[in-house]
Structure 1
Amino acid sequence: MLAWLCVTLGVAFGSAVVPVLSIEVFVIGLATSEEQIPWPAIGAVVAVGQVAGKLLYYLAARGSIRLPAVLHDRLHRPRTASPMRERWRLRTKRVRGWLEALRERCHRHPHWMASTYGVSSVLGLPPFMATTVLAGLVRMRMSMFVAAGLLGRFVRFSVLAAAPAVFAGLLRL
């Protein structure tokens, strides 16, 4: 059981850093194949792994950690004004304006950002990755970031881990 929880922690951290991996599928598979692992333990381990992985994005957006030189140089190199780049800039002007207004609103109302991040950590809408980066950009307190993320992710993945047992119990009736 402990070995599976350690593997789950690693997969949760990896899926937070590399969003291509699906921790949801892993949790459902683990809950159905390893019935002796309690669902609150799965939820807690996944929550810790997810928040630890997202903390890297939060700190990078906040400016507390420096990106590797390859990424930093690529993001901050001077760009030539090609016609395609100019067209793209004009097309995304409204989205950039919306994001800037959202960022300003988050600065003025820090509790609004905390609630948005909390809802995102449970539902995944708005995308959890986006709210993680936005929380770093608006300099949300780290204690609030960790607490809201852990609570939301625990609820999300505990419910997900408990779902196979609930459905199995319903099918036996």
Structure 2
Amino acid sequence: MTWLCVTLGVAIGSALLPLISIEVFLLGLVTSHPGMSPWALGAVIAVGQISGKMLYFLAARGSLKLPNFLHRKRDPDAEVSPRRALWLAKTARVRGWLSRLRDRCHRHPQWMIGTHAVSSLVGIPPFMATTVLAGLADMSITAFVTTGVIGRFIRFTVLAASPALFAGWMHLHHH
């Protein structure tokens, strides 16, 4: 039970800070504790990951007020610095692409649900990116949680079972 609680904490942490790899943690855990249930680990990680990503989803949706230091303060009468003007010019294409993508997501919500589901399962496109995009596209919380938990549960249950499956396969083919 202690390891499941630790796993939940690492899963939440990895959802918030992408530098933490829940995959590496999970493989290390199941290798050193082979008796752990892949089903329980998959469920705990899925809940932890979606709980952590919920902050990004809600912030992108505008449902969560971000701290003031994260908001850019602009004086509408202030002159734009040359550096800022250059940055705006360089990022105009990306901003336009994101705007068109957001509009497409609003027109075709099933596309965003499918993309998020695939991302939660295989990690491509990156799960962090589809989490934020789902929030920007105003995906329903129910769809976000359902697709995310199911995909993450399958992904991490299979990953948790993989060392045992690999060891069993190696044992069969070694004899």
Q: Same fold (TM over 0.5)?
A: yes
Question: Is 2:29 aligned against 1:33?
Answer: no
Partner of 1:63: 62
One-letter amino acid of the structure 1 residue matched with residue 110 of structure 2: H
TM-score by length of 1: 0.92
Task: Summarize deviations over 1:60-94 as a string: whole Å, max 9, x none.
Answer: 111111112222xxx22127633333222222222
Equivalent positions of 1:75-154 (< 5 A) are 75-78=71-74, 81-154=80-153
Give distance in 2, aligned partners of 1:76 and 1:60. 15
One-letter amino acid of the structure 2 residue matched with residue 52 of structure 1: S
Note closer, same or farther for the CA distance 1:84–1:76 as it changes in structure 2 (3 Å cut).
closer
4+ runs of 1 displaced by more than 4 Å?
Answer: none
One-letter amino acid of the structure 1 residue matched with residue 123 of structure 2: G
Provide structure 2 residue ranges, at least 5 long, that are not aligned to the other structure.
Answer: none
Give distance in 1, aligned partners of 2:84 and 2:126. 26
Superposed displacement of residue 163, structure 1: 1.1
Percent identity between the aligned chains? Answer: 59
Partner of 2:164: 165
Superposed displacement of residue 125, structure 1: 1.3
Give distance in 2, aligned partners of 1:110 and 1:6. 35
Task: Summarize deviations over 1:22-56 as a string: whole Å, max 9, x none.
Answer: 10100111111111111111111100000000011
Give distance in 1, aligned partners of 2:154 and 2:9. 19
